[in-house]
Amino acid sequence: MTDAEIHAVMAAEYAKQGQALSDDKRRHNHFQCRLDQQLADKVRDYMKSRDMNANQALQMIISKFFN
């Protein structure tokens, strides 16, 4: 294995560990739920109409509820 290959492997592993650490730090802020079909369809429509992913849409909906 060349030095460049070793560094590439090490960098990839470091990135995985870094992502895992970041995920661990945010895990206590992670929420999930199951929606019935009608509500899920409404959320998908909301996401699509605003060109948002699920995380962005749910953050917006929740922040509007609490403000």
Task: Please tell me the predicted confidence (pLDDT) of residue 34.
Answer: 95
Domain around 50 = 31-67
One domain for residues 9 and 36: no
What pTM was estimated for this model as a whole?
0.61
What parts of the chain have a pLDDT lower than 50? none
One domain for residues 37 and 51: yes
One domain for residues 36 and 23: no
Task: Please tell me the predicted confidence (pLDDT) of residue 43.
Answer: 97
One domain for residues 21 and 35: no
Burial degree of 66 (CB within 10 A; 0-12, 13-18, 19+): exposed
Sign (positive or negative) of CA dihedral 22, 27, 33, 39: negative
Task: Please tell me the predicted confidence (pLDDT) of residue 45.
Answer: 97
Task: Please tell me the predicted confidence (pLDDT) of residue 10.
Answer: 72
One domain for residues 62 and 41: yes
Task: Please tell me the predicted confidence (pLDDT) of residue 20.
Answer: 74
Q: In angstroms, rounded to a whole number, what is the distance separating the alpha carbons of residues 7 and 15?
A: 12
